[in-house]
Amino acid sequence: MAKQPNIVILGDYERALRRFSQWDRIEQNSNLIIHHEPLRDEALYEAVKDADVIAIVRDRSPFNEAMIARLPKLKLLMFTGKRNGTLDSAALLSRNIPIACTPGGPSKETTAELTWALILGASKQLVRQNNLVSTGGWRDELSVLPMLSGERLGVIGLGAIGSAVARVGKAFGMEIVTWSPNMTPERAAIENATSVSLDELLRTSKVVTMHLVAGPGTKGIISADQLALMRPDSLLVNTSRSALINMPDLCAALKKGCPGQAAIDVFDIEPLPSHDPLRSTPNLLATPHLGFIAEPVFKMFSQGITETLEAWLDQKPVPHPYQP
């Protein structure tokens, strides 16, 4: 009797994958292990050293060239979504190890929703107001809050998510300004926005929200000098990638009160270490990278994984091969 292949699933922090698809056939024909905890370095290696197939939820488990070289049994690696920033795909392809992915689902839409949840939650200080009620209190002198209507919303990056965020801001009666490295007045006008310099956007906006793709030209684009330009009553929001902002600089700037608040969903190290100073920064509203976390997204992730694994077990082409 042929030995069953070892299939390892990594990064199912939410324990969501089994909810949205059938795993019976895969379990019957393989040794299946699903990991729910974060794994890195040697702990990651120990989890996958005997794997024939590895499936990763998003980019939660980094696989560099050195790690891949230690996995002689590996025959297929897949990840959810279309992109993975912590995977050395060239190292896999050089060994002729196929790479598969899954449909991404409506992650842009849910990220736009979260962006506005953070803007409204921070602007209206909902956590503090809830704490007042839950501890027996009611309104106090800090419950009289400014409005967003009539204020300026600065959108850094006007792709699908940035455009959706801008349209909601317009519906709230905000003035929309935008900047990106390749922004033009014509492109801005499509979303009823005005193209301005980055410095002007930072100096004048009540809310600044980040929607750029992280890359060599945008890494650390918001650092100490840029943060110092922001209004003391402003809010900086990032639901894109942490690399866009120098996070130690942000922590220092928040302590100085410029910007007045930040609302952040993405961090340099995830999960955020328990001792990280950002966990105790009082004027920071932080969420645990919820931008793409939604039932429709995880349904597509789960079904994409099971479809791929079943195809591989049947020795058929994978349904969603990765396109470098």
What is the set of active-site residues? 241, 270, 289
The CA distance from 245 to 202, in Å, is: 13
The CA distance from 221 to 240, in Å, is: 13
What DSSP assignment string belongs to 14-65? Answer: T--GGGSS--HHHHHTSEEEE--S---HHHHHHHHTT-SEEEESTT-S-B-H
Q: Which residues contact 317 (CB under 8 A, 6 or more apart)?
A: 311
Residue 88 has a CB neighbour count (10 Å cut-off) of 17
Query: What per-residue string of b and e applies to 271-297 under the rule 16 or more CB within 10 Å gives b?
Result: ebeeebebeebeebbbbebbbbbbeeb
The CA distance from 195 to 215, in Å, is: 22
Contact 256, 227 (CB under 8 A): no
Contact 300, 65 (CB under 8 A): no
Contact 106, 294 (CB under 8 A): yes
